Amino acid sequence: MKRAWWKEQVVYQIYPRSFCDSNGDGIGDLNGIRSRLDYLQALGVRILWLSPIYRSPNDDNGYDIADYQAIMEDFGTMEDFDALLADVHARGMRLVMDLVVNHTSDEHPWFVESRSSRDNPKRDFYIWREGKADGTPPTNWGGCFSGSAWERDEGSGMYYLHFFSKKQPDLNWENPAVRDAVFDMMTWWCEKGIDGFRMDVISMISKPQEPWTDAPTYGGLYGSSEVTCNGPRVHEFLQEMNRRVLSRYDLMTVGETAGVTIEEAKRYANVDGTELNMVFQFEHVGLDAGPDGKWCTKRISIPALKANLSRWQQELEGKAWNSLFFCNHDQPRVASRLGDQSPRSAKCIATALHLMQGTPYVYQGEELGMTNYPFTSLEEFRDIESLNAFRELTQAGLREPEELFRAIAYKSRDNARTPMQWDDTENAGFTTGTPWIAVNPNYRTINANAEQADPDSVWHYYRKLIALRQDSPWSDVVVYGHYALLAPEDEAVFAFTRTLEERKLLIVCNLSAERRTFRVPEEVVWTRSDQILGNMDGTLEREMSLAPWQAGVWSL
């Protein structure tokens, strides 16, 4: 397998708004990030990915960009950014930027011009259509944040397409001038010296072939937005981007590809390098969705999770490259979702994730075992997706408010967005002011300071996992070794091997709160074994009695 730095290093995702506030306005910022680089270096991560830091009216916390080449005032200035980039590089780390080019903000000058008249030169930068004869939108398509994906503009009476909020109009990638403008902007950032892009909903940039028709509603109010994933020209557009920008620099690229299948991923992340390095797939974090979608409190089934992850491991090997994640700024906290919020469960889940083949992503606070927030009222939410869903589904009489509230409290993106817990002082050391979103009250026990001082903490366990992959005698096996699942039918234990030539690792994780007996399948043989990492002392035996959430990695 071809070596690459982005296969061998661990990525850390920063959600700047919630990471560290340097000036007491309650909002994290670039100087806050700069002040925490020692912390990140001590953890060992080598690549930092920043969620959007560009000028934005914050309808969707920066995923609605009004100027791609300016820094959001809340976060600082371009000088602050340049200083951050220099500091990151001085430590031998790399910085990856979020690239949000499926849509802009409606306050972006391109859109302001586009909506100003039907014959404005920028009109065709966005997707404008006439409504149906009966006065309804062009199609029944729904947006990901509730409501129609079409918004009628008073000025021209036409509708523009927005698959996210109505303040996030979709760009028209069919227009070559849009592609030129986007590629120029990307080149400008590359020339600044950034090290890569995480590409927001890049699987949605190519819209379906016309004529457009209504989509199935699956019992909801609107047609499914899946119509727009993996569109007919998406690979052509990415190959063009690759030729014109990506291939000219040494970058890491990861596509956020909602609706991606294994077959599609093999194209997006093909080993020939004509598109992207890797993609985020979402099947595994969709396993706890119900018939009505994500808003339910169902738990992820462990056999289903094992089967799904294993399919991706097997099918991409040698053909594309996996990204490994349970957490990001759109997902609830994994310690609450898969685990029971205990430190041991957080370590167990991390072991399973970090020992697979692919590039692991750590989302801020995950390395502390941060948990979901104990929401008790709607006023505590800030997220547009959560708030819109509650309003729409209760007003339409589709869901009971109490039941829906529990589901949103469990799944809301805001669970990931409460402030990073640095220490046990007021507001967890995140800000000296009033935080823009409440701090999780468990910060007095779950915080970076306390965990760095405790050799048995979740933090130190993540540090060891990262070091095992990046700087240990086992690095090559962890990065490049072949993955094979063991005991697929086991209800709770996730066990697999990683093999590189004659070297082999065995990973056993009891993903349950019960003691489990586990028989290591006969195909796995050893004469001596050392536990090279584990969340408890563990001796490898043919028949093992595993404690709740016990995890171990043995070299055979």
Indicate the SS3 state at residue 29: coil
Q: How far apart are the first and last CA of the chain?
A: 22
Min separation Cβ 80 and Ca ion, Å: 11
Name which position in 164, 222, 443, 459 contacts ligand TEU (CB under 6 A): 164
Residues 6+ apart with CB under 8 A from 526: 506, 540, 554, 556
Rg for the chain, CA atoms, rounded:
23
DSSP state of 472: S
Kindly name the residue from 256, 264, 275, 392 that is annotated as catalytic. Answer: 256
Q: Which of residues 310-349 bind ligand TEU (CB under 6 A)?
A: 329-330
At 425, list the tokens.
Answer: 């002082």
Of 13-21, 93-101, 493-501, 517-525, the window that binds Ca ion (rule: CB under 5 A) is 13-21
Closest-CB residue for ligand TEU? Answer: 63
Q: Which does 201 bind (CB under 5 to 8 A by kind): Ca ion, ligand TEU, none?
A: ligand TEU
- Does the protein bind ligand TEU through residue 280 (CB under 6 A)? no
Q: Which is nearer to ligand TEU, 52 or 481 (CB)?
A: 52
Whichever of 100 and 479 has its CB closer to ligand TEU, that residue is: 100
> Rounded to whole angstroms, how far apart are CA atoms 68 and 51?
13
264 is an interface residue for ligand TEU by CB under 6 A: no
Alpha helices, DSSP H only, in 196-342? 234-244, 262-268, 302-316, 334-337
256 is catalytic: yes
466 binds, among ligand TEU, Ca ion, none (CB under 5 to 8 A by kind): none
Tell whether residue 363 is a contact of ligand TEU (CB under 6 A): no
For 71, 160, 172, the CA distances from 110, given in Å and listed in that order, are: 18, 13, 11
Residue of 275, 288, 385, 414 that binds ligand TEU (CB under 6 A): 385
The catalytic position among 151, 200, 330, 383 is 200
Amino acid identity, position 52 = P
With contact defined as beta carbons under 8 Å apart, do 18 and 64 qualify? no
Q: Which is nearer to ligand TEU, 195 or 414 (CB)?
A: 414
> Which option in ligand TEU, Ca ion, none does residue 29 bind, with CB closer than 5 to 8 A by kind?
Ca ion
Q: Tell me the per-residue interface mask from 45 to 64 with ligand TEU, x by CB under 6 A, - otherwise.
A: ---------------x--x-
Residue 504's binding partner among Ca ion, ligand TEU, none (Cβ under 5 to 8 angstroms by kind) is none
Under rule CB under 6 A, residue 383 binds ligand TEU: no
288 forms part of the interface with Ca ion (CB under 5 A): no
Q: How far is CA 228 from CA 104, 196, 201, 499, in A?
A: 17, 25, 10, 39
Query: How far apart are alpha carbons 501 and 401 in whole angstroms?
Result: 56
- The listed partner (Ca ion, ligand TEU, none) that binds 490, CB under 5 to 8 Å by sort, is none
Candidates 16-24, 334-342, 481-489, 529-537: pick the segment binding Ca ion (CB under 5 A). Answer: 16-24
The option from ligand TEU, Ca ion, none interacting with 21 (CB < 5 to 8 A, set by class) reads Ca ion
CB 448 to Ca ion: min, Å: 18
Closest alpha carbon to 508 in 495, 527, 521, 498: 495
Site for ligand TEU in 74-113 (CB under 6 A): 100
Under 8 Å between Cβ of 149 and 143? yes
Residue 272 structure tokens: 């020939």
Q: Is 389 in the site for ligand TEU (CB under 6 A)?
A: no
Q: Does residue number 113 form part of the binding site for Ca ion (CB under 5 A)? A: no
Q: Report how many helices (DSSP H) and strands (DSSP E) the chain contains, helices first.
A: 17, 20
Q: Which residues of 377-405 are buried (b: 16+ CB within 10 A; e: fewer)?
A: eeeebbbbbbbbbbebbbeeeebeeeebb
Q: Name the residue nearer to ligand TEU (CB basis): 282 or 526.
A: 282
Q: Which does 337 bind (CB under 5 to 8 A by kind): Ca ion, ligand TEU, none?
A: none
Q: Are 45 and 36 in contact (CB under 8 A)?
A: no
Kindly state whether residue 479 participates in binding ligand TEU, applying the rule CB under 6 A: no
- HEC string of 486-538 equals ECCCCCCEEEEEEEECCEEEEEEEECCCCCEEEECCCCCCCCCCEEEEECCCC
Between the CA of residue 33 and those of 27, 75, 367, what are the distances in Å?
Answer: 12, 10, 16
448 contacts ligand TEU (rule: CB under 6 A): no
3-state helix, strand, coil in the chain (%, to 5): 35, 20, 50
In the bound state with ligand TEU, the residue whose beta carbon lies nearer, of 228 and 555, is 228
- Compute the distance between CA of residue 430 and CA of residue 19 in angstroms, rounded to an integer: 7
Select from ligand TEU, Ca ion, none the partner in contact with residue 27, using the beta carbon and a kind-dependent cut-off of 5 to 8 Å.
Ca ion
- Minimum CB distance to ligand TEU smaller for 252 or for 448: 252
Among 25, 82, 153, 423, binds Ca ion (CB under 5 A): 25
Q: How many CA atoms lie within 13 A of 314 on its CB side?
A: 11
Nearest CA among 333, 338, 342, 396 for reference residue 362: 333
Q: Which is nearer to ligand TEU, 313 or 331 (CB)?
A: 331
CB of 168 to ligand TEU, least distance (A): 6
Strand order in the sheet with 551-555: 482-486, 493-500, 503-510, 551-555, 530-534
Say whether residue 258 binds ligand TEU (CB under 6 A).
yes
Q: Which string of x and - marks every residue 27-66 that binds Ca ion (by CB under 5 A)?
A: x-x-------------------------------------
Select from 22-30, 198-206, 362-370, 375-383 the region that touches Ca ion (CB under 5 A): 22-30
Active centre residues (catalytic): 200, 256
| Residues contributing to the site for Ca ion (CB under 5 A) | 21, 23, 25, 27, 29
| Residues contributing to the site for ligand TEU (CB under 6 A) | 60, 63, 100, 144, 164, 200-201, 256, 258, 294, 329-330, 385, 413
